[in-house]
Chain A
Amino acid sequence: MARTIQSLERAAAVLRLLAGGERRLGLSDIASTLGLAKGTAHGLLRTLQQEGFVEQDPASGRYQLGAELLRLGNSYLDVHELRARALVWTDDLARSSGESVYLGVLHQQGVLIVHHVFRPDDSRQVLEVGAMQPLHSTALGKVLAAYDPVAHSEAMDSGREALTAHTITDPESFEEVLELTRSRGWAADVEETWEGVASIAAPVHDRRRMPVGAVAVTGAVERVCSDGEIQPRLVAAVRDCARAVSRDLGAGRF
């Protein structure tokens, strides 16, 4: 018989414990319930946290199941469900902003475009559903990295290639951008991915308040910005849209 790996068995026991009964547990509860030394339990939890399977509540220090685990199971929000729910709101955003709209989710090391609404002029445009965009430089990617721990570690682990002269590549500045994103609730990309193109994105949450995707408007930098500043009107429109989609997914008002 092949040998089993003790630490994996213990990790599974931790997950089972967090999945049943109380939602959040402290380190000592977990260690004593499973008959483990505190140090061992802490090592397991830290590793699980890195993988996104466990999250630690910053206020109480207690642990709970993480986003990645939900993504693995049945309860994970289907991206096509997300698109169906977002359809009317993203149409509305495209009309009110006059720009094209994208809905993106984390996929492997990047942002997968799951929905795209054309810019409402009569120009030829190509549907970009199924395309991948970089995590570290786009507004969609920054929002995902700011709110989703798995996206965060993917973005930190990636090379953060300089796509234009404006791309933020060093880890400290990138973390600062994510901090700013979390504090103001939206992210921007001003010519950091493509010359001449700017975008604004905001997070979409599901009913568990999990970040399930991001919605963005993208357009020529001359239209998205005025006097070198992102247009507040567009920021408000993007955030309204993201909130409306989140509400449709059952997330409470926030």
Chain B
Amino acid sequence: MSDTRREFIAAIDQGTTSSRCIVFDRDGRIVSVGQKEHEQIFPEPGRVEHDAAEIWTNVQEVITEALDKAGITREDVRALGITNQRETTLLWDRATGEPVHNAIVWQDTRTDALCRELGRNVGQDRFRRETGLPLASYFAGPKIRWLLDNVEGLRERAEAGEILFGTMDSWVIWNLTGGTEGGVHVTDVTNASRTLLMNLRTMDWDPRICESMGVPMAVLPEIRSSAEVYGEARGALAGVPVASALGDQQAALFGQTCFSPGEAKSTYGTGTFLLLNTGSEAVNSYNGLLTTVGYRIGDQDPVYALEGSIAVTGSLVQWMRDQMGLINSAAEIETLASSVEDNGGAYFVPAFSGLFAPYWRSDARGVIAGLTRYVTKAHIARAVLEATAWQTREIVDAMEKDSRVELTALRVDGGMTSNNLLMQCISDVLDAPVVRPMVAETTCLGAAYAAGLAVGFWPDTDALRANWRRAAEWTPRMEAGTREREYKNWLKAVERTMGWLEEEN
């Protein structure tokens, strides 16, 4: 090897429950991990906040921890990448660097009423054509508006240019690059695409929407690509280029090297997020999916994605463990489900807070259908796993309808990929191979890849593809007839969840 000194890329994952820093080597292998959880603040039902100052302190700590564990110094780090919990919203004082309020977390539903009001007579699709998103409380724009309306004197200060807005990528980058001492105020296209304020075609803030939303454009960061040098870090990583930012799900798409149209990844955790690369076309969804930016490398064309999420997947297994007491650990769901050959005729639709994509029915509630005396808890366990598989199928069907691209294989990551029966089941119902890559930390890896591309550590996306390794692959085993019959039964069960709540609200 001509390379005498080993070089690395560090990635920060500023997540919902913790901040992590992972150091990767040139082969994309994990060298070390630093991790620290932060407090979840619940001021009242439906509200979730984070202390942004605590998060910044933790980010600095996990960087030091990861470098120490790897036994390297900042000179060995070629670039730093950022990935983050999406949509979590912060406003801070440009002069002091102090947050003006806790960050409002993506799950927080305080802007529900505001979103209905903003929909006016059009409803939740008022800004969908420009932004690809429905008006929903997840997204950052309405959260900014709420803060400006509810923090005393803030609107005036914002209009005077004293206040900065950012999702967690912006907050971390601003602080890393010097904060009040010349920190750069930027965000990347993927994070900007989750604000409800960015126009997907121009890749810039939409003045008309900002006006309607009541957000002064002076607070907004500059929108940059996902992979370019935003600035140099100060502090523990002094001199290291800060070279990527991607929302967590987009980072996973990047880490899974889904660089071609038709390639898709699904992250199976508490909930599930499925993203399909649709190339240079921003595909409008008529089937309840979101249109979002997948990534943009430097000055290349942006790559778009369709996104579908499943609210209840891993959390259904947790519910079986904690609320029903049918299993002792999440892994045991597979043991119980494997003790029978099939679902015994039972179907479980976990519409705990309504049906999401592709139905969007808030009047629906969960149902276990097809019960007979024959059904045991093992059949229910099987139905629990099948629920995740069928919901994946519904999202994939919607994506294929919207994009007219057929999914050839599904790349999976997340905690539930250790469930072999579930992965087989997904392959069976999709009638497509399901593939698990060798590095499970695809989110951090995606941020590292983007940063490495920006500084030339990796030459191009082909080099990243060459790093990708298949750890396991499940291929369909279910007969077509069985698949059709089971899907029909699933759809019948879904139908039975609808209209349970008599009044919507």
Point out residues on A near B: beta carbons under 8 Å.
Answer: 74, 78-81, 83-84, 87-88, 91-92, 94-95, 115-118, 120, 122, 125, 127, 129-130
Contact = CB atoms under 8 A, between A and B. Distances in A.
A91 B413 CA distance: 13
Interface in B128-183: none
Q: Which of A80, A115, A118, A125 has the most CB of B within 10 A?
A: A80
B390 to A, nearest CB: 21
Interface residues of B, number: 25
Nearest to A117: B471
A81 B439 contact: no
B462 to A, nearest CB: 14
B328 to A, nearest CB: 7
Contacts of A78: 328-329, 331-332, 335
A127 B470 CA distance: 11
Interface of B: 27, 29-30, 328-335, 415, 417-420, 438-440, 469-474
B473 A94 contact: no
Contacts of A81: 329, 331-332
A80 B472 contact: no
A81 B335 CA distance: 9
Given A78-B335, A81-B329, A115-B420, 9 more contacts: A80-B333, A80-B420, A83-B420, A84-B415, A87-B417, A87-B418, A92-B30, A95-B27, A95-B29
A81 to B, nearest CB: 4
Contact of B418 (A84, A116, A125): A84
A164 B23 CA distance: 45
Contact of B419 (A74, A80, A118): A80
A80 B438 contact: no
A110 B333 CA distance: 24
Q: Which of B27, B329, B332, B438 has the most CB of A within 10 A?
A: B438
Q: Which of A79, A92, A115, A127 has the most CB of B within 10 A?
A: A127
Given A78-B332, A79-B335, A83-B420, A91 B440 contact: yes
B377 to A, nearest CB: 15
A94 B472 contact: no
Given A80-B332, A84-B331, A94-B438, A122 B418 contact: no
19 contacts: A74-B328, A78-B335, A80-B331, A80-B418, A81-B329, A83-B420, A84-B331, A87-B417, A88-B440, A91-B439, A92-B29, A92-B30, A94-B469, A115-B420, A116-B472, A118-B471, A118-B473, A122-B470, A127-B472
